[in-house]
Amino acid sequence: MLRRIALAAVCVAILTSAAVVGRDLRAAEVNRPIYYVQTREKVMALTFDLSWGTKMLGLVLPILEQAHQPATFFVSGPYARTHPEEMKAIMDAGMELASHGAAHVNFSGLGAAGVEANVRTANADLSPWARGPLDLLRPPNGDWNPASVAAARAAGYQTIIWSIDSLDWMNPGVSTIVSRVTKQAFPGAIILMHASDTCKQTNLALPPILTDLKAQGYRLVTLGELMKMGPAMRDDPRGSGQKPNMG
């Protein structure tokens, strides 16, 4: 009898600790950002960050429009507030709107309350332009920590990084930008480009990127579309030749 009670107590203890560990793991997992979507279809999301300038946007938008190519624009709140013409052009071109935060600073240094305030401030500036509720956030500089991911979620946003950095913001040369994107392509990837005026070569790299990826059999969609195609993945597939988990 005593042995049975002892055994039952041990079982309860094991089950309880397993449940606790499971809960911790899920919390740790959910407080990481999204890097790609798990799918076997040859589909990727095309995304642009935009926080200043009008020149590169004015060159990139017509290319996308002519190619009937939708993309997701992560726009910073202050930009949306001060550039109504550009915002109208982005939305008229059928692009998807997402948030690039308010002040362009590293979220890992803001603390939970600071991140939440940043995200909510940007939301107020972006919402009037959006077709529906906004819920996709790319933190400035792709910087995050578990607290910033949790704080963004509290403000209604999922934190999105990327799988493929075009490096267009470094102006490394058109062929480098093109090959970085086309050689790292994989189903479910999120491609990072920029429409800010820091970039001088994005408009030249974009047409050959679109042509090459199409020839590889890829279809480019907005991030919102991609996220309907499979589970959002929070392991970082970048660097060291690491293969993403394609399921």
Site residues for Zn ion per CB under 5 A:
49, 51
Smallest gap from Cβ 90 to Zn ion, in A, equals 16
Q: Which C-beta is closer to Zn ion: that of 51 or that of 118? A: 51
Q: Which C-beta is closer to Zn ion: that of 51 or that of 69? A: 51
Active site residues: 49, 194
Count Cβ neighbours within 10 Å for each residue of 12-34 and write b for 16 or more, e otherwise.
Answer: eeeeeeeeeeeeeeeeeeebbbb
Beta bridge partner(s), residue 165: 192
Q: Which C-beta is closer to Zn ion: that of 71 or that of 213? A: 71
Instruction: Output the CA–CA distances (angstroms, integers) from residue 95 to 47, 78, 87, 88, 173, in the order listed.
Output: 10, 19, 10, 10, 26
Question: What residues have CB less than 8 Å from 119, skipping those under 6 apart?
Answer: 99, 101, 102, 137, 151, 152, 155, 156, 157
Calpha distance 110→114 (Å, rounded): 5
Smallest gap from Cβ 195 to Zn ion, in A, equals 10
Smallest gap from Cβ 164 to Zn ion, in A, equals 16
Smallest gap from Cβ 77 to Zn ion, in A, equals 12
Calpha distance 231→227 (Å, rounded): 7
Q: Which C-beta is closer to Zn ion: that of 49 or that of 116? A: 49
Tally of CA atoms within 13 A in the half-sphere of 1 that contains its CB: 0
